[in-house]
Each structure stands twice: as C-alpha cells, then as structure tokens.
Amino acid sequence: MSFRLSYRADPGNPWFSWQYVRDNSDTILAAVREHASLTGRAVLIAVLIALPLSVLAYWVRPLAGPILAVSGVVYTIPSLALFAFIAPYLGTGATTVLVGLVLYALLLIVRNVVAGLNQVPPEVREAAEGMGYGRWGRLFRIDLPLALPGIVTGVRLATVSTVALVTVGVLVGHGGLGQLIFAGFQNNLYKAEIMTAALLCVALAVVLDLLLILVARLVTPWSTRRAR
C-alpha cells in the first residue's frame, strides 16, 4: 500500500508537528488501520497454528525438541532477509508480510504454551484421570484452562513483537506505519513524519498489550486472586 502525503516544508523541521498530523490525518489513520490489521491477523493465525503444535509437543515429548528448534531457527533469520526469501514465491503483497509475521510469532507462542502445559501439577492430571477424563477431555477441561496464563503471556509477547515487525513490511509495500517512517527518511529526514509514526507504533503496542492483560484477568480470575 502506498500513502500520498501532503508535505509542507518546515525550516525548523521539528520532531513533532500538529500541522503535519492535521494535514495528513487520513493517511495516518489508514496506516494505523493497516498496521493493526496485519498485527491482528498474523497473531490470530499464529495462535491457530501454535496451539496444535504445542499440544503435539506436550503429548509426544520426543517431538518437543524438534518443534521448538525449527521455530527457533526461523526466529533467528533477519526480518528483511526472510521477507526477501518469501517475496519471489508469494509476490510483494500483504500475504508475504503475513507469512513472515506468523513465522516469527510461532516460537514465542509455542514456547509459552508448552511451558504452561508442562506446569500443570501432576496430581491434578492424576485426579482428572481418576475421574474418568480421557486425553481430549483432560486437555480441554484441565490442561488448557490451567495453562491459560502461559498462553496469554505468549500471545502478549507475540503481539508486541509483531507490532514492531510490521514496519519491516515496507520492503514489500505493506508496512503500515513503517511506510510513514520510510517516507520520512526519503523526504529529506522529515522528522515530524518519522516521530509521529514511531509514537503511534509504541502506542499501538501498549494498547494491545493492555487489552490482552485485561483479557487475561477476565479469563483467569484465579491467577489474580492468587497474586493478591
């Protein structure tokens, strides 16, 4: 996505300008929407992939190492290089950015979900088996609910990380607020444009993290009471 900016030369070139925000409010809002959309879709897809992988690693212990290792190797690839590898096969569209973001989010979610499942007390599992719960029943009624704090932690880390990584999508034309940051450097270091986009990136990450904290408290009220 390309953004057309109403650029007004400023001799002082301040790091922040309300005039820039007013003149380019539509462009800024469009960038924020794209940034939030890419982040939300990437994290949702990563969760849908990571949960089955985590359960598989939890049930089949020999697979835990390879699953974590593969996702860890992907996480070590520099983001620019990963997008450059994907682009020839998927093109320079939003799909390329989404695939890269999902791959990066997988490790953070899988690692925390597996850790959460492994922290379920053995006596609780034994009690569930004694009550007649099968493997699937124990998973949905016992293991996953007790692992929710770890799952939410993984989603929080993945979300904040993804907000930062979306900006790299500027390489293929879908970087959300990264488009504004890149354009600011192209416009003779237009500081107000760069700073506005950077501040909005931070604000978006903080808002999403706070929302996830609120969700965690709503779905795990026992953790909140225990902390008190």
**pLDDT of amino acid 225:** 54
Domains of the chain: 27-220 (1.10.3720.10)
- Report how far Cα 205 is from the mean position of its chain's Cα atoms: 9
How far apart (Å, rounded) are the C-alpha atoms in residues 215 and 220?
8
| HEC per residue, 27-91 | HHHHHHHHHHHHHHHHHHHHHHHHHHHHHHHHHCHHHHHHHHHHHHHHHHCCHHHHHHHHHHHHC
How far apart (Å, rounded) are the C-alpha atoms in residues 149 and 156?
11
Q: Residue 195's CB: how many other CB atoms inside 10 A?
A: 18
Q: Going by C-beta distance under 8 Å and a sequence separation of 6 or more, which residues neighbour residue 166? A: 35, 38, 39, 42, 97, 101, 175, 176, 177, 178
**pLDDT of amino acid 7:** 47
**pLDDT of amino acid 157:** 94
How far apart (Å, rounded) are the C-alpha atoms in residues 42 and 44?
6
How far apart (Å, rounded) are the C-alpha atoms in residues 155 and 220?
15
Say if CB 171 and CB 86 are below 8 A apart: no
Say if CB 75 and CB 109 are below 8 A apart: no
Say if CB 28 and CB 16 are below 8 A apart: no
Which among 127, 150, 161 is positioned nearest to 220, based on CA atoms?
Answer: 150
pLDDT one digit per residue (tens) for the chain, 228 residues: 555 554 454 556 767 777 778 888 888 899 899 999 999 999 999 999 999 999 999 999 899 889 989 888 888 888 888 888 888 888 777 888 899 899 999 989 999 999 999 888 888 888 877 787 788 888 888 888 888 888 999 999 999 999 999 988 887 778 888 888 887 777 766 788 888 889 999 999 999 999 999 988 887 766 555 555
This prediction's pTM: 0.83
Which among 88, 97, 100 is positioned nearest to 1, based on CA atoms?
Answer: 97
**pLDDT of amino acid 50:** 94
> In the chain, which residue ranges form alpha helices assigned H by DSSP?
18-23, 25-59, 61-76, 79-90, 94-118, 122-130, 135-138, 144-166, 177-186, 191-219, 221-227
How far apart (Å, rounded) are the C-alpha atoms in residues 10 and 191?
10
CA 174 vs CA 52, 77, 92, 107, 145: distances in Å: 29, 20, 8, 23, 36
